[in-house]
């Protein structure tokens, strides 16, 4: 498999020597598929977490495929007869040749190969760093361990997931490079880790592939990370609470505020909700407040979890889950996530939890 520097140079040569083709092809040799088989191609709009079927391919009488699509480079999925989806990352003018189905093997698209390599690494990282501690938490709950023990294990899970995201950043920068596969990875970036290198990589991507939709999405991801970096003014949040009453972040101006993104299905968030109650009991409400942003998709789930956790602080939700405009505004792609805001409305810290949050507030509050 070519490394991304050689891929970058080769594609740059093509970009400067001839116009880029806004098309790609999918082929399969005879007998790879049964004759007269239908396969469906979908486009994946990564930033919207949206997959839409856009074409149907039919194999010929010999079970082969030869189809060219006048579509921009991006992330696509081919639904195979087995029900399995084959992720594709075709760059300009590439021909993706499906060679075998068991196991699935493709050639002709280095970008697609890089996407497959990234996915293999991502799943392996999760299996190594995250799944074991989740298993420990489940066992601790079944054995009715103390809340303190559950909280300690949950913090390890959060820390390990953060390490997982940093590993993904490293892999993207060192292996994926400015290939089209980069577009498939950006929702899992840790925007604060090697941020300047990610920004540079996005510009390399733009130089290779032009102003395609993927380029615009990647640039917005970098802009969002800068928007919520420590020292930046916190973007305004306006919405309605569980009772339908209007709420806004700016109404809390003049005190420290922790903006907490959470959801009913996020165990670490639920643990932290109970911790927040203790913090609020110990501080002056005129000096510190909480502003919750819920990422559930139904009012019932939001309301039930809020009651179970005893949430009495301000919170809002647009009930759009990961499609929430609030999550997009604050560049939140994983939970838990939080932002500590100073009395002037500037972000001073991110993702403080447990005793670390308590220690920071002790330093800041009178």
The span from the CA of 267 to the CA of 230, in Å, is 26
What is d(CA 160, CA 289) in angstroms, rounded to the nearest whole number? 28
DSSP class of residue 48?
G
Q: In the prediction, which pLDDT does 21 show?
A: 42
Q: 155 preceded by cis ω (within 30°)?
A: no
- In the prediction, which pLDDT does 12 show? 40
Strands 246-248 and 238-240: antiparallel
For 4-105, the fitting CATH number among 2.60.40.1120, 3.30.499.10, 3.40.50.720, 3.90.850.10 is: 2.60.40.1120
How far apart CA 166 and CA 120 sit, in angstroms, is 16
Q: What is the number of helices (H) and of strands (E) in the chain?
A: 11, 15
Segment (H or E) for 357: helix 354-364
Radius of gyration of the chain (CA): 24
Give residue 366's pLDDT. Answer: 81
Query: Which single residue is written with the structure tokens 């970096």?
Result: 229
* Mean local confidence (pLDDT), 202-214: 96
Domain locations in the chain as residue ranges = 4-105, 114-227, 238-364
pLDDT at 22: 54
Fold: same for 4-105 and 238-364: no
Confidence label for 18 from pLDDT (cuts 50, 70 and 90): very low
Which percentage of the chain shows pLDDT scores above 70?
Answer: 94
Q: What element of type H or E holds 296?
A: none
Average of per-residue pLDDT across 66-90 = 94
pLDDT for the residue 11: 43
Q: Are 198 and 178 in contact (CB under 8 A)?
A: no
Model confidence pLDDT, tens digit, residues 250-296: 999 999 999 999 999 999 999 999 999 999 999 999 999 999 999 99
Q: Are strands 256-262 and 288-294 parallel, antiparallel or unpaired?
A: parallel
How far, in Å, are 120, 332, 347 from residue 162 at the CA level?
18, 13, 20
Q: What kind and span of H or E run contains 269?
A: helix 267-282
Entry pTM: 0.86
CATH 1.20.59.10 fits 238-364, yes or no: no
Asked whether the predicted pLDDT for residue 71 surpasses 70, the reply is yes
């Amino acid at each position: 498999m070519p490394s991304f520097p050689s891929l970058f140079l080769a594609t740059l040569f093509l970009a400067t020597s001839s116009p880029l083709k806004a098309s790609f092809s999918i082929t399969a040799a005879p007998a790879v598929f049964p004759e007269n088989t239908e396969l469906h191609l979908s486009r994946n709009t990564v930033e919207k977490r949206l997959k839409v079927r856009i074409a149907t391919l039919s194999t010929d009488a010999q079970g082969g495929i030869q189809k060219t699509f006048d579509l921009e480079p991006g992330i696509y999925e081919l639904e195979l007869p087995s029900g399995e989806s084959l992720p594709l990352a075709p760059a300009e003018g590439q021909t993706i040749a499906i060679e075998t189905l068991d196991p699935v093997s493709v050639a002709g698209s280095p970008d697609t190969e890089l996407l497959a390599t990234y996915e293999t690494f991502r799943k392996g990282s999760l299996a190594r760093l995250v799944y074991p501690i989740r298993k420990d938490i489940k066992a601790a709950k079944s054995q009715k361990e103390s809340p303190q023990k559950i909280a300690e294990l949950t913090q390890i899970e959060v820390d390990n997931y953060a390490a997982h995201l940093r590993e993904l950043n490293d892999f993207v920068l060192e292996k994926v490079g400015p290939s089209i596969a980069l577009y498939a990875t950006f929702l899992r970036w840790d925007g604060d880790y090697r941020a300047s290198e990610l920004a540079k990589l996005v510009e390399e991507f733009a130089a290779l592939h032009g102003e395609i939709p993927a380029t615009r999405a990647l640039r917005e991801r970098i802009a969002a990370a800068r928007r919520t970096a420590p020292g930046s003014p916190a973007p305004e949040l306006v919405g309605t609470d569980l009772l339908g009453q209007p709420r806004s972040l700016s109404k809390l101006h003049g005190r420290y505020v922790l903006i907490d993104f959470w959801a009913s299905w996020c165990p670490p968030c639920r643990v932290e909700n109970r911790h927040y109650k203790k913090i609020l009991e110990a501080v002056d409400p005129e000096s510190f407040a909480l502003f919750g942003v819920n990422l559930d998709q139904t009012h019932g789930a939001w309301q039930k979890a809020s009651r179970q956790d005893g949430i009495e602080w301000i919170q809002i939700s647009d009930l759009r889950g990961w499609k929430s405009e609030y999550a997009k505004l604050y560049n939140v792609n994983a939970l838990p996530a939080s932002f500590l805001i100073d009395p002037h409305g500037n972000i001073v810290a991110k993702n403080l939890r447990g005793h670390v949050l308590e220690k920071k507030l002790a330093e800041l509050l009178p």
